[in-house]
A and B are shown apart, each in its own frame.
Chain A
Amino acid sequence: MTAPFHRYTSRRGFQRRTESTIVWFFRFATYVILLCGVFIIGNICLKGLPAVTGAFRSLEQFPYVTNTFIFEAPESLYVFKHEGVKREMGDAEYRAFRETETARATAEGRPVPEFKASSYVYAAGGIWPCIVGTLLLVVGAMTIALLLGVASAIFLSEYARDGAFVRFIRLAILNLAGVPSIVFGLFGFAMFVLYFNWNVSLMAGWFTLAFMVLPVVITASEEALKAVPKGFREGSLALGATKWQTIRKNVLPYALPGILTSSILGIARVAGETAPIMFTAAYVVRDKLPWEVAKFSDFFFQGVMALPYHIYVVSSKIPQNAYTQRVQYGTAFVFLGLVALIAGSSILLRNKLRGRYQW
């Protein structure tokens, strides 16, 4: 007996197979991406976590515990044999050890021991100056980018008349978004470091990074401003408010969550890019922390260490050996955590603002 044939009989065959092949391809693509993500993050966590967890030390006074990887500056690592035991020590510790051992030997009348250590740069200590430097770069660059970006977005969407000129500006901004970060780095170097004579400094880095994220901030701020209903502006103006009063009291507060959303994307970029800062703000190594300056104005004109640049340095600018991996992955791990932390707090702030105004 044949199955009943009607116009909704299922048609097996070619059409169906293509459908399921295509779905499987989409599924496969998604899983591949997921897998890559998990692998990258997992790899960094797995190899980086020990650098952090293995660096907790107890303290005599208040916080009672510290983490040498996070809160200390990078040092050279000294590896040597002493009285038959292999030891690994950071620079400062090694010097102290050598002194006490020498003193002890002299007191006991033994011959002064010989120290034959091999040293490995940056393999000991931590990355505190890099964390501080990156935080400073992010805060300064985002402040400048938001001030300039929101101001020009307000001008473009609230004040400027739509014409050839405004369209040209928008086009220029769009194009700016496509410029590679290394080009911003070179621009910043030529403009701020050389022409303005700011040298390699926070200021130069701030402005270079700010210019890099400005297109994102402007475009997204304009979108956020446009999303505020026209009725709020008209209602405010009809009550006798000036244009600026209207924008300040009745447009900008509602656009702020949207603007922050865009700047969250900007934060990750500002924190993460190496190219824009390598000529403008980043030092390979710097002993002093940024607040250890002679006078206040020096603060803005000092170079800093930064996390992405440190990763670059420890993975390609120093001799590779058994001890470098700890720093490389440890830095990457802390870096990921820091970006997640900053982005997370901006998301919290945004959600709080968003809850306040809704229409």
Chain B
Amino acid sequence: MENTSPASASSSRPLATPPRVARQDDTAALPTLIDVKGLDFYYGAKQALFDINIAIPDRRVTAFIGPSGCGKSTLLRCLNRMNDLIDGTAVKRGEIKIRDIDIYGPSVDPIELRKRVGMVFQKSNPFPKSIYENIIYGLRIQGVKSKTKLDEVVEKSLRGAALWDEVKDRLHESGLSLSGGQQQRLCIARTIAVAPEVILMDEPCSALDPIATAKVEELIHELKKQFTIIIVTHSMQQAARCSDRTAFFYMGKLIEFDETHNIFMNPKNPQTEAYVSGRFG
């Protein structure tokens, strides 16, 4: 096992990280982190995803958009195997590779996978513990005991989630005493505290007001320097503002996946065009 030291997000990354591409518009050449090939996914007898092929670039923001029930959350939850928790779900065909490892392969432990592929939920879910305990939850689980290390991670994660200045004097108050937007950033801080490679966000701003939303979006902008981010959103503006690439789903199929700029300005598929211009969905 490689270095799982969760404290430092950057050090837990394999050494041979591909060089960052600085310019925004040549994303076509980006290295792939997550490669989904021919994925068919079922809830019991009901097929929810049909032949999904998508290559998600490393350290970029990818947005999933599409009308309700089209399978965005389903695909997202396939990426950290959260769907395993629902009875009767199955990947019937295809594969998902993260750094060339098939995450549905027999040697993969979903617990280890979820440490590397974190998730932020639509409904912010801080645990009814102190802010401090919330952040170190993942490390406690991994058996980290050193107080200095925990303190360090708490500060680093809260700074990373742009929350440090607001809560540094009340670390031992309940996480539930924060405002909705702060709670969502606390959940993000909790996720980055275990130093994942990928952060999955399922409609992270849908319960937030515009100002809190703007803060989270700013944060996403910061976070993509270190993490690969996939965000599901119902807000076209949000997808346009904060993602590099956008995938449009419809009825369990991936209709179009391209640079965000192209999806909104110059969609190739008429369905995509109809959706982004607000004609359906």
Contact = CB atoms under 8 A, between A and B. Distances in A.
A238 B140 contact: no
Contacts of A239: 114-115, 118, 137-138, 141, 190-191, 194
B141 A235 contact: no
A142 B80 CA distance: 41
Q: By CB atoms of chain A within 10 A, which of B80, B118, B137, B187 has the most?
A: B137
B119 interface: yes
Interface stretch (A130-138, A179-187, A241-249, A336-344): A241-249
Interface in B59-96: 80, 82, 85, 87
Contacts of B137: 236, 239, 241, 249-250
Contact of A229 (B80, B119, B125): B125
Contact of A358 (B111, B119, B121, B176): B176
A241 B127 CA distance: 14
B112 interface: yes
A196 interface: no
Q: By CB atoms of chain A within 10 A, which of B85, B115, B125, B194 has the most?
A: B125
Q: By CB atoms of chain A within 10 A, which of B80, B82, B114, B176 has the most?
A: B114
A240 B194 CA distance: 9
Contact-residue bracket for chain B: 20 to 34
A249 B112 CA distance: 18
Given A231-B121, A235-B127, A358-B176, A240 B82 contact: no
Given A235-B187, A237-B85, A242 B114 contact: no
A250 B141 CA distance: 11
B91 to A, nearest CB: 18
B84 to A, nearest CB: 9
Given A239-B115, A239-B118, A239-B194, A358 B125 contact: no
Contact of B123 (A162, A231, A241, A254): A231
Interface in A140-169: 161-162
Contact of B141 (A231, A232, A245, A254): A245
A161 B87 contact: yes
Contact-residue bracket for chain A: 20 to 34
A195 interface: no
Interface in A337-359: 357-359
A229 B126 CA distance: 11
Interface string B180-218: 000000010011001000000000000000000000000
B262 interface: no
B141 A241 contact: yes
A298 interface: no
B128 interface: yes
Given A239-B114, A239-B190, A240-B141, A250 B127 contact: yes
A234 interface: yes
B142 interface: yes
B130 to A, nearest CB: 11
Nearest to A230: B125
A238 B141 contact: no
B128 A254 contact: yes
B125 A232 contact: yes
A242 B142 CA distance: 10
A254 B82 CA distance: 23
Interface in B119-149: 119, 121, 123, 125, 127-129, 137-138, 140-142
Interface string A206-236: 0000000000000000000000010110111
Contacts of B140: 249
B193 to A, nearest CB: 8
Contacts of A254: 128
Given A161-B87, A235-B187, A240 B125 contact: no
A240 B142 contact: yes
A359 B125 CA distance: 10
B203 to A, nearest CB: 14
A162 B87 CA distance: 9
A357 to B, nearest CB: 5
Contacts of A162: 87
Contacts of A235: 121, 125, 127, 187, 190
B198 to A, nearest CB: 12
Nearest to B122: A231
A358 B174 CA distance: 9
B138 A240 contact: yes
Contacts of A249: 137, 140-141
B80 A238 contact: yes
Contact of B82 (A238, A242, A250, A357): A238
Contacts of B82: 234, 237-238
23 contacts: A231-B123, A232-B127, A232-B128, A234-B125, A235-B121, A236-B127, A236-B141, A237-B82, A238-B82, A238-B118, A238-B119, A238-B121, A239-B138, A239-B190, A239-B194, A240-B142, A249-B137, A250-B127, A254-B128, A358-B174, A358-B176, A359-B128, A359-B176
Q: Would you list the 9 A-B pairs with minimal beta carbon distance, nearest first?
A: A231-B125, A240-B115, A239-B138, A238-B119, A235-B125, A357-B128, A241-B141, A240-B114, A359-B128
Interface of B: 80, 82, 85, 87, 111-112, 114-115, 118-119, 121, 123, 125, 127-129, 137-138, 140-142, 174, 176, 187, 190-191, 194
Interface of A: 161-162, 229, 231-232, 234-242, 245, 249-250, 254, 357-359
